[in-house]
Structure 1
């Protein structure tokens, strides 16, 4: 039987309540979180120190006002703090976020990442899956190429050392963050976690790249990454929200070059438009790699994606140089060997 509270006693406020109050006190008294406050709040979330009602309120309040770069940076740093890697984790060149899934076109970005890996540029890819019906996600597409997803950080390290490529689902990389992101089905809203999980860069790669669906989020990624201490980064509106160049469209890339922000325009690679594919036939990915399928539009998407990585990771001095080097990489891939395939 619960004991009645003594007359006049004041109930103790939950430590997390301050962060909900900051965001939700009203139109005149609420304010954004500082980066330190966001980091402290997310640390409590990752440690499971908040009540479910508080977590829902916190995520919804952030979503309604849209997270600022300082908030995104603080949240992402707390997530990064919570991820434990082996002490001998290898150096990684490219951190590649894959959080959207594809519904209109095949995930050509995977062939771009594997081409970079085959040419000695290591790529760690991570992503959330199965959050939206009717989409193809990275692990399923990689499986069609014979490339298994890593189920632990140790396995990812081994794959990176052996093949310069590893992919982990968010569920494997951070079960707690996967659980938090799963609240989308309960709340009916996409939470800020879909933005900040992309920014975590768990292996501390020298360069990070993100694709977004909505261009207004590009400055959040750009400035948030700068506040996190990233030196080289790029974000652009990718096909379906993935890191994949839309070859029929001009492309604006927001980047960090040695910590300094900037934007650059890329012209379309092909004329005309692309229709939605009738069915995303995953075996076509392998046919594209082997050269059996010579789809020039797909090749433009692949090389165009490689070019953005080369340009903003400091491996090309101009758009034209990046595009030429990318086309050569794709042309010269070893068609009989897919990195990591078993």
Structure 2
């Protein structure tokens, strides 16, 4: 399948080039995922999109094509992508938040790839989250535990190959955003973290085109969906399918970086209520915003009650 027409559309030059329509972007992604497109054309297309700056229509078309070629994950309530490189983050406290949302009887699917950084994948077991080897196993874990993590390389190998072209091209591409918008379980709600704030509106606009009902995008810890408890947070997205924007107040007066941890994640698993206040508020605040995305009007109280009821996952 040729990408030449799409490369021409993007690369004709000043006054002649234009962005792709949603339909054209969908067609281009299907060509890239097929494995038949010339690698030179794939690289050219991705870098032209990067230089121009992606539109919501392009992201929606690319993401829809990627989702259509992904295996089916059943009855997911909350989509939770994790694609940050991790260089600026500390322990992945958001994993405990995802587990708490699952305990509120919502089915939560995490999926992702974090490059060479192992913090997220090493933290999954500590947070009580099973890693699935394929879609069938993810469905089984969701039925049994209400939550599962599915690595991108197992979920969608063709998309994973496009994502890892960063190692060849030396730059990130729109595939990083497409992965966040993949939503393989066709959930009505998603929570997403970004490192660059400019992507918050892009992802929110693309989600509206895709027909999602709930979305929260924040500049989170290291690019993950993780609320910094001592900062005011700007959140963008959707509520009931309508544009949403909110500024959330700080939860604690303690000021420090998320990457400076005063307790290891194992403390949250073995002795959750002895966790320091900063980490506790990170988990509760992230959980509350996820529950709000799902439509709970009492999200803050609900998150606090879930934390109070948390029992040790791995008794010491």
**Structure 1 length as normaliser, TM-score?**
0.87
Cα distance in 2, alignment partners of residues 123 and 32 from structure 1: 34
Cα distance in 2, alignment partners of residues 330 and 165 from structure 1: 17
Number of the residue aligned with 2:50: 63
Structure 1 residues 212 and 275: CA distance shift in structure 2, 3 A:
closer
RMSD over aligned CA atoms reads 1.9
2:190 to 185, 208, 215: 208
Confirm whether residue 121 of structure 1 aligns to residue 106 of structure 2: yes
2:291 to 310, 317, 330: 310
**Match of 2:63, SS?**
helix
Number of the residue aligned with 2:282: 301
Which deviates more from structure 2 when the two are superposed, residues 235-244 or residues 269-278?
A: 269-278
Contact 1:248 1:269 in 2 (8 A): yes
Cα distance in 2, alignment partners of residues 164 and 94 from structure 1: 10
1:100 to 84, 108, 124: 84
Q: CA deviation at 1:280?
A: 9.7
Number of the residue aligned with 1:286: 266
Q: CA deviation at 1:143?
A: 3.3
Number of the residue aligned with 1:3: none
Which deviates more from structure 2 when the two are superposed, residues 145-154 or residues 269-278?
A: 269-278
Contact 1:212 1:218 in 2 (8 A): yes
Number of the residue aligned with 1:333: 310
Q: CA deviation at 1:336?
A: 4.0
1:19-58 → structure 2 map (5 Å cutoff): 19-58=6-45
**Match of 1:215, SS?**
coil
Q: CA deviation at 1:335?
A: 2.3
Q: CA deviation at 1:294?
A: 1.8
Structure 1 unmatched ranges of 5 or more: 1-13
Number of the residue aligned with 1:11: none
Structure 1 residues 205 and 276: CA distance shift in structure 2, 3 A:
closer
Cα distance in 1, alignment partners of residues 241 and 20 from structure 2: 23
Q: CA deviation at 1:81?
A: 0.8
Contact 1:106 1:280 in 2 (8 A): no
**Match of 1:31, SS?**
coil
Cα distance in 2, alignment partners of residues 145 and 110 from structure 1: 6
Q: CA deviation at 1:279?
A: 7.5
Rg larger in 1 or in 2?
1
Contact 1:101 1:137 in 2 (8 A): no
Structure 1 residues 253 and 279: CA distance shift in structure 2, 3 A:
closer
1:1-342 → structure 2 map (5 Å cutoff): 15-85=2-72, 89-102=73-86, 103-130=88-115, 133=116, 135-145=117-127, 147-275=129-257, 277=259, 284-291=264-271, 293-316=274-297, 321-336=298-313
**Match of 2:198, SS?**
helix
Q: CA deviation at 1:313?
A: 1.2
Map Cα deviations across residues 178-237 of structure 1 (whole Å, 9 max, x no partner). Answer: 111111011111010001111111111121111111111011110101101111111111
Q: CA deviation at 1:49?
A: 2.4
Structure 2 unmatched ranges of 5 or more: none
